[in-house]
């Protein structure tokens, strides 16, 4: 808990933002805070708008195939590497990614183990 609190009210297009510190803020710093906070509000978009943009750019986002691709990408893995780690034949991984094969519980569990996440992300 703060022994002594300083409260600064910063006006934005969306309304007031209260900044509470335990030290006095210099006028120059306060001006910088005002600009930074105003910039955040101007450049912030609603989550739905961001998700719609992602879905438009990457139709597989939020799908099991998109999840596999995202985890492969974030780990720097190829299908071959995923195959080696998960013990799923590379041809099956390719078929899944190309929508020629469905992901069953057994395969989902292998993906979950390989990526160290809940297997239900892949169903």
Selected from 1.10.260.40, 2.40.10.10, 1.25.40.10, 3.40.50.261, the CATH number assigned to the domain covering 53-122 reads 1.10.260.40
Mean pLDDT of 24-28: 80
pLDDT tens per residue across span 50-100? 888 888 888 888 899 999 999 999 899 999 999 999 999 999 999 999 999
3-state secondary structure of 116: coil
pTM here is 0.59
| Nearest one of 43, 2, 21, 1 to 10, comparing CA atoms | 21
For the cut 90, the answer to whether the pLDDT of residue 15 exceeds it is no
Which residues have CB under 8 Å from 86's CB, separation 6+? Answer: 93, 110, 111, 113, 114
Q: Where are the domains of the chain?
A: 6-44, 53-122
């Amino acid at each position: 808990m703060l022994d002594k609190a300083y409260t600064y009210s910063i006006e934005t297009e969306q309304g007031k933002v209260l900044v509470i510190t335990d030290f006095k803020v210099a006028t120059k710093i306060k001006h910088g805070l005002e600009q930074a906070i105003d910039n955040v509000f101007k450049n912030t978009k609603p989550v739905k708008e961001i998700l719609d943009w992602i879905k438009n750019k990457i139709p597989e986002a939020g799908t099991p195939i998109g999840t596999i691709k995202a985890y492969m990408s974030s780990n720097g893995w190829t299908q071959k590497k995923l195959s080696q780690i998960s013990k799923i034949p590379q041809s099956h991984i390719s078929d899944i990614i190309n929508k020629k094969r469905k992901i069953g519980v057994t395969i989902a569990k292998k993906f979950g183990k390989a990526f160290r996440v809940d297997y239900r992300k892949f169903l």
